[in-house]
Structure 1
Amino acid sequence: MTTKVQRQTLIARLVGDHEVSSQPELLELLAGEGIEATQATVSRDLEDIGAVKVRVPGGNTLYAIPEFAPDRLAPVEHVRRVMGEWVADVAVSGNIVVLRTPPGCAHVVASALDRSRIEGLLGTVAGDDTLMCISAIPDGTQLCNDLKDLAGLD
Protein backbone atom coordinates (compact mmCIF):
# COMPACT_ATOMS: atom_id res chain seq x y z
CA MET A 1 0.00 0.00 0.00
CA THR A 2 1.39 3.36 -1.05
CA THR A 3 0.96 6.31 1.31
CA LYS A 4 -0.45 9.65 0.19
CA VAL A 5 2.97 11.30 0.59
CA GLN A 6 4.67 8.58 -1.49
CA ARG A 7 2.01 8.88 -4.22
CA GLN A 8 2.27 12.69 -4.28
CA THR A 9 6.06 12.52 -4.42
CA LEU A 10 5.80 10.13 -7.36
CA ILE A 11 3.27 12.42 -9.09
CA ALA A 12 5.63 15.37 -8.69
CA ARG A 13 8.47 13.32 -10.20
CA LEU A 14 6.30 12.09 -13.08
CA VAL A 15 5.11 15.63 -13.88
CA GLY A 16 8.73 16.80 -13.81
CA ASP A 17 10.01 13.94 -15.98
CA HIS A 18 7.15 13.67 -18.52
CA GLU A 19 4.97 16.04 -20.49
CA VAL A 20 1.70 15.26 -18.71
CA SER A 21 -1.28 16.97 -20.31
CA SER A 22 -4.20 15.24 -18.59
CA GLN A 23 -5.23 13.38 -15.46
CA PRO A 24 -5.97 10.16 -17.39
CA GLU A 25 -2.43 10.34 -18.80
CA LEU A 26 -1.09 10.73 -15.25
CA LEU A 27 -3.18 7.75 -14.13
CA GLU A 28 -1.51 5.67 -16.86
CA LEU A 29 1.96 6.78 -15.73
CA LEU A 30 1.07 5.90 -12.12
CA ALA A 31 -0.21 2.49 -13.22
CA GLY A 32 3.11 1.96 -15.00
CA GLU A 33 4.76 2.50 -11.61
CA GLY A 34 2.38 0.00 -9.98
CA ILE A 35 0.17 2.63 -8.33
CA GLU A 36 -3.62 2.32 -8.64
CA ALA A 37 -5.50 5.57 -8.09
CA THR A 38 -8.78 7.17 -9.08
CA GLN A 39 -9.04 10.36 -11.07
CA ALA A 40 -10.60 12.08 -8.03
CA THR A 41 -7.57 11.09 -5.92
CA VAL A 42 -5.13 12.31 -8.56
CA SER A 43 -7.07 15.56 -8.88
CA ARG A 44 -6.79 16.15 -5.10
CA ASP A 45 -3.09 15.18 -5.17
CA LEU A 46 -2.36 17.65 -7.98
CA GLU A 47 -4.12 20.37 -5.98
CA ASP A 48 -2.23 19.44 -2.78
CA ILE A 49 1.20 19.59 -4.43
CA GLY A 50 0.41 22.88 -6.19
CA ALA A 51 0.42 21.56 -9.75
CA VAL A 52 -0.76 24.02 -12.37
CA LYS A 53 -1.57 23.78 -16.06
CA VAL A 54 0.73 25.87 -18.23
CA ARG A 55 0.43 26.66 -21.91
CA VAL A 56 3.44 25.60 -23.98
CA PRO A 57 4.45 26.67 -27.48
CA GLY A 58 1.97 25.19 -29.93
CA GLY A 59 -0.99 25.87 -27.65
CA ASN A 60 -1.01 22.63 -25.63
CA THR A 61 -1.24 22.69 -21.85
CA LEU A 62 0.86 20.58 -19.49
CA TYR A 63 0.95 20.06 -15.75
CA ALA A 64 3.87 21.67 -13.95
CA ILE A 65 4.93 22.02 -10.33
CA PRO A 66 5.98 25.65 -9.82
CA GLU A 67 8.02 25.08 -6.69
CA PHE A 68 9.90 22.06 -5.45
CA ALA A 69 11.73 21.70 -2.16
CA PRO A 70 14.51 24.29 -2.24
CA ASP A 71 17.21 21.69 -1.59
CA ARG A 72 16.22 19.63 -4.63
CA LEU A 73 18.60 20.42 -7.49
CA ALA A 74 17.31 20.56 -11.04
CA PRO A 75 19.53 18.53 -13.40
CA VAL A 76 21.08 20.57 -16.21
CA GLU A 77 19.15 18.60 -18.83
CA HIS A 78 15.86 19.40 -17.07
CA VAL A 79 16.76 23.11 -17.01
CA ARG A 80 17.79 22.95 -20.68
CA ARG A 81 14.47 21.28 -21.61
CA VAL A 82 12.39 23.82 -19.64
CA MET A 83 14.36 26.75 -21.05
CA GLY A 84 14.24 25.38 -24.61
CA GLU A 85 10.48 24.85 -24.49
CA TRP A 86 9.36 27.98 -22.67
CA VAL A 87 11.90 30.80 -23.07
CA ALA A 88 11.31 33.00 -26.11
CA ASP A 89 13.72 35.86 -25.41
CA VAL A 90 16.61 36.73 -23.09
CA ALA A 91 17.94 40.28 -22.58
CA VAL A 92 20.29 41.95 -20.09
CA SER A 93 20.37 45.34 -18.37
CA GLY A 94 23.12 45.77 -15.79
CA ASN A 95 22.94 42.85 -13.39
CA ILE A 96 19.35 41.93 -14.34
CA VAL A 97 18.63 39.37 -17.05
CA VAL A 98 15.03 39.37 -18.30
CA LEU A 99 13.46 36.23 -19.79
CA ARG A 100 10.16 36.20 -21.73
CA THR A 101 7.92 33.13 -21.80
CA PRO A 102 4.43 32.28 -23.03
CA PRO A 103 1.67 33.44 -20.66
CA GLY A 104 1.57 31.44 -17.42
CA CYS A 105 5.02 29.85 -17.81
CA ALA A 106 7.43 32.25 -16.10
CA HIS A 107 7.08 30.65 -12.66
CA VAL A 108 7.96 27.19 -14.02
CA VAL A 109 11.14 28.52 -15.65
CA ALA A 110 12.01 30.49 -12.50
CA SER A 111 11.60 27.41 -10.30
CA ALA A 112 13.89 25.35 -12.55
CA LEU A 113 16.49 28.13 -12.56
CA ASP A 114 16.29 28.61 -8.78
CA ARG A 115 16.94 24.89 -8.32
CA SER A 116 19.72 24.78 -10.93
CA ARG A 117 22.39 26.50 -8.86
CA ILE A 118 23.75 28.13 -12.03
CA GLU A 119 26.97 29.95 -11.25
CA GLY A 120 26.43 33.69 -10.99
CA LEU A 121 22.63 33.49 -10.51
CA LEU A 122 21.50 34.93 -7.17
CA GLY A 123 17.79 34.31 -7.71
CA THR A 124 14.71 34.96 -9.78
CA VAL A 125 11.47 36.93 -9.61
CA ALA A 126 8.65 35.69 -11.83
CA GLY A 127 5.48 37.26 -13.12
CA ASP A 128 3.08 35.69 -15.61
CA ASP A 129 5.17 35.76 -18.79
CA THR A 130 8.34 37.55 -17.68
CA LEU A 131 11.01 36.75 -15.13
CA MET A 132 14.03 38.61 -13.84
CA CYS A 133 17.25 36.81 -13.01
CA ILE A 134 19.65 38.66 -10.75
CA SER A 135 23.35 38.32 -11.58
CA ALA A 136 25.84 38.08 -8.72
CA ILE A 137 28.11 40.57 -10.47
CA PRO A 138 27.26 44.06 -11.78
CA ASP A 139 27.58 43.01 -15.44
CA GLY A 140 25.02 40.29 -16.19
CA THR A 141 26.29 39.65 -19.73
CA GLN A 142 27.84 36.27 -18.88
CA LEU A 143 24.68 35.10 -17.11
CA CYS A 144 22.63 36.34 -20.08
CA ASN A 145 24.81 34.36 -22.49
CA ASP A 146 24.62 31.24 -20.28
CA LEU A 147 20.82 31.47 -20.15
CA LYS A 148 20.58 32.04 -23.92
CA ASP A 149 22.71 28.93 -24.42
CA LEU A 150 20.45 26.87 -22.12
CA ALA A 151 17.40 28.12 -24.05
CA GLY A 152 19.00 27.40 -27.42
CA LEU A 153 18.81 31.07 -28.43
CA ASP A 154 22.45 31.65 -29.38
Structure 2
Amino acid sequence: MLKKDRHAKILEIIRQNEIDTQGELTQKLNEIGVEVTQATISRDIQELHLIKIAGKVKKYKYAFIDKRENFIPDKIVNLFKEILVSITCVNNLIVIKTLSGNASAAGMVVDRMNFSEILGCVAGDDTLLIITKSNSDAEMVIKEFKELMK
Protein backbone atom coordinates (compact mmCIF):
# COMPACT_ATOMS: atom_id res chain seq x y z
CA MET A 1 0.00 0.00 0.00
CA LEU A 2 1.26 3.47 -0.84
CA LYS A 3 2.12 5.80 2.02
CA LYS A 4 -0.54 8.35 0.99
CA ASP A 5 -3.19 5.60 1.01
CA ARG A 6 -2.02 4.40 4.42
CA HIS A 7 -2.13 7.99 5.71
CA ALA A 8 -5.70 8.33 4.43
CA LYS A 9 -6.67 5.12 6.29
CA ILE A 10 -5.03 6.39 9.48
CA LEU A 11 -6.96 9.66 9.31
CA GLU A 12 -10.19 7.77 8.67
CA ILE A 13 -9.57 5.50 11.66
CA ILE A 14 -8.79 8.32 14.09
CA ARG A 15 -11.84 10.28 12.95
CA GLN A 16 -14.11 7.29 13.61
CA ASN A 17 -12.46 5.91 16.77
CA GLU A 18 -10.78 7.17 19.91
CA ILE A 19 -7.30 5.78 19.34
CA ASP A 20 -4.92 6.50 22.20
CA THR A 21 -1.85 4.36 21.44
CA GLN A 22 0.32 3.50 18.47
CA GLY A 23 -0.31 -0.17 19.22
CA GLU A 24 -4.06 0.30 18.97
CA LEU A 25 -3.69 2.15 15.67
CA THR A 26 -1.42 -0.61 14.34
CA GLN A 27 -4.02 -3.20 15.36
CA LYS A 28 -6.88 -1.31 13.65
CA LEU A 29 -4.87 -1.04 10.43
CA ASN A 30 -3.95 -4.73 10.54
CA GLU A 31 -7.65 -5.60 11.03
CA ILE A 32 -8.51 -3.91 7.72
CA GLY A 33 -5.66 -5.63 5.90
CA VAL A 34 -3.02 -2.92 6.13
CA GLU A 35 0.09 -4.65 7.47
CA VAL A 36 2.27 -2.16 9.35
CA THR A 37 4.75 -2.13 12.19
CA GLN A 38 4.72 0.15 15.20
CA ALA A 39 7.84 1.88 13.83
CA THR A 40 5.98 2.74 10.61
CA ILE A 41 3.04 4.07 12.61
CA SER A 42 5.39 6.20 14.68
CA ARG A 43 6.79 7.81 11.51
CA ASP A 44 3.30 8.24 10.06
CA ILE A 45 2.11 10.00 13.22
CA GLN A 46 5.00 12.45 12.93
CA GLU A 47 4.47 13.04 9.21
CA LEU A 48 0.73 13.62 9.68
CA HIS A 49 1.40 15.94 12.64
CA LEU A 50 -1.11 14.07 14.78
CA ILE A 51 -1.57 15.37 18.29
CA LYS A 52 -3.12 13.89 21.39
CA ILE A 53 -6.11 15.64 22.87
CA ALA A 54 -8.51 14.76 25.67
CA GLY A 55 -10.97 12.08 24.59
CA LYS A 56 -14.59 11.61 25.58
CA VAL A 57 -14.31 7.89 26.33
CA LYS A 58 -10.56 7.46 26.74
CA LYS A 59 -8.25 9.86 28.55
CA TYR A 60 -6.47 10.81 25.30
CA LYS A 61 -6.96 10.28 21.60
CA TYR A 62 -5.04 11.06 18.45
CA ALA A 63 -6.39 13.97 16.44
CA PHE A 64 -5.53 15.60 13.13
CA ILE A 65 -5.59 19.35 12.69
CA ASP A 66 -5.26 20.84 9.20
CA LYS A 67 -1.88 22.57 9.26
CA ARG A 68 -2.31 25.16 6.53
CA GLU A 69 0.22 27.85 7.33
CA ASN A 70 -1.10 30.92 9.16
CA PHE A 71 -4.60 29.44 9.32
CA ILE A 72 -6.25 29.16 12.71
CA PRO A 73 -9.92 28.24 12.36
CA ASP A 74 -12.42 29.56 14.89
CA LYS A 75 -12.91 26.00 16.11
CA ILE A 76 -9.25 25.87 17.17
CA VAL A 77 -9.36 29.32 18.77
CA ASN A 78 -12.44 28.23 20.72
CA LEU A 79 -10.64 25.05 21.79
CA PHE A 80 -7.72 27.18 23.00
CA LYS A 81 -10.12 29.34 25.01
CA GLU A 82 -11.82 26.30 26.56
CA ILE A 83 -8.65 24.48 27.61
CA LEU A 84 -6.74 27.51 28.92
CA VAL A 85 -6.50 27.71 32.71
CA SER A 86 -3.85 30.40 33.21
CA ILE A 87 -1.00 32.30 31.56
CA THR A 88 2.03 33.40 33.56
CA CYS A 89 5.08 35.28 32.36
CA VAL A 90 8.51 35.33 34.04
CA ASN A 91 11.18 37.20 32.11
CA ASN A 92 11.31 35.65 28.63
CA LEU A 93 9.38 32.53 29.65
CA ILE A 94 5.63 32.09 29.32
CA VAL A 95 3.89 29.25 31.15
CA ILE A 96 0.42 28.29 29.97
CA LYS A 97 -1.59 25.95 32.18
CA THR A 98 -4.32 23.96 30.43
CA LEU A 99 -6.89 21.38 31.36
CA SER A 100 -5.27 17.99 31.81
CA GLY A 101 -4.15 16.40 28.54
CA ASN A 102 -4.42 19.55 26.45
CA ALA A 103 -1.01 21.25 26.51
CA SER A 104 -0.10 19.66 23.17
CA ALA A 105 -3.20 21.12 21.52
CA ALA A 106 -2.39 24.54 23.00
CA GLY A 107 1.15 24.19 21.65
CA MET A 108 -0.21 23.51 18.18
CA VAL A 109 -2.23 26.73 18.32
CA VAL A 110 0.83 28.70 19.46
CA ASP A 111 2.97 27.16 16.71
CA ARG A 112 0.33 28.08 14.13
CA MET A 113 0.52 31.72 15.16
CA ASN A 114 4.06 31.86 13.73
CA PHE A 115 5.36 34.45 16.18
CA SER A 116 8.89 35.46 15.19
CA GLU A 117 9.44 36.36 18.86
CA ILE A 118 8.97 32.74 19.99
CA LEU A 119 12.06 30.55 19.95
CA GLY A 120 10.09 27.41 20.77
CA CYS A 121 7.62 25.73 23.06
CA VAL A 122 7.51 22.45 24.96
CA ALA A 123 4.28 20.75 26.01
CA GLY A 124 3.68 18.41 28.89
CA ASP A 125 0.32 17.06 30.04
CA ASP A 126 -1.21 20.30 31.29
CA THR A 127 1.65 22.78 30.97
CA LEU A 128 3.06 24.56 27.93
CA LEU A 129 6.40 26.35 28.26
CA ILE A 130 7.04 29.05 25.66
CA ILE A 131 10.51 30.57 25.31
CA THR A 132 10.76 33.99 23.71
CA LYS A 133 13.81 35.96 22.58
CA SER A 134 13.44 38.67 25.23
CA ASN A 135 11.33 39.86 28.14
CA SER A 136 9.61 42.45 25.93
CA ASP A 137 8.85 39.76 23.35
CA ALA A 138 7.18 37.69 26.06
CA GLU A 139 5.02 40.66 27.05
CA MET A 140 4.03 41.20 23.41
CA VAL A 141 3.09 37.53 22.97
CA ILE A 142 1.00 37.64 26.17
CA LYS A 143 -0.79 40.71 24.81
CA GLU A 144 -1.58 38.81 21.58
CA PHE A 145 -2.92 35.84 23.57
CA LYS A 146 -5.20 38.14 25.55
CA GLU A 147 -6.44 39.68 22.30
CA LEU A 148 -7.16 36.20 20.96
CA MET A 149 -9.12 35.35 24.11
CA LYS A 150 -11.61 38.20 23.61
Instruction: Classify the secondary structure of the residue corresponding to 1:134.
Output: strand
TM-score (norm 1): 0.58
Instruction: Classify the secondary structure of the residue corresponding to 1:54.
Output: strand
Q: 1:75 aligns with which of 71, 78, 83?
A: 71
Shift of 1:129: 0.5
Q: Supply the distance in 1 between the matched residues of 2:77 and 2:92 (Cα, whole angstroms).
A: 22
Quickly say closer, same or farther: Cα 1:12–1:141, change in 2 above 3 A.
farther
Residue 134 of structure 1: aligned partner: 131
Q: 2:45 aligns with which of 49, 53, 67?
A: 49
Query: 1:87 aligned to 2:78?
Result: no
Q: Deviations over 1:10-66 (max 9, x none)?
A: 755997xxxx4725xxxxxxxxxxxxx978349x79764265652269x98553259
Contact 1:74 1:112 in 2 (8 A): no
Gaps of 5+ in 1: 24-36
Q: 1:143 aligns with which of 114, 117, 141?
A: 141
Query: 1:105 aligned to 2:135?
Result: no
TM-score (norm 2): 0.59
Contact 2:84 2:96 in 1 (8 A): yes
Gaps of 5+ in 2: 19-27
Q: 1:40 aligns with which of 31, 36, 47?
A: 31
Q: Supply the distance in 2 between the matched residues of 1:119 and 1:136 (Cα, whole angstroms).
A: 9
Aligned-pair identity in percent equals 23
Q: Supply the distance in 2 between the matched residues of 1:138 and 1:12 (Cα, whole angstroms).
A: 40
Contact 2:60 2:101 in 1 (8 A): no
Residue 22 of structure 1: aligned partner: 17
Contact 2:123 2:129 in 1 (8 A): yes
Residue 24 of structure 2: aligned partner: none
Q: Supply the distance in 1 between the matched residues of 2:133 and 2:12 (Cα, whole angstroms).
A: 30
User: What do you get for the CA RMSD once the two structures are aligned?
Assistant: 4.1
2:105 maps to a residue whose letter is: V
Give the ranges of 4+ consecutive aligned residues of structure 1 lying more than 6 Å apart after TM superposition: 44-47
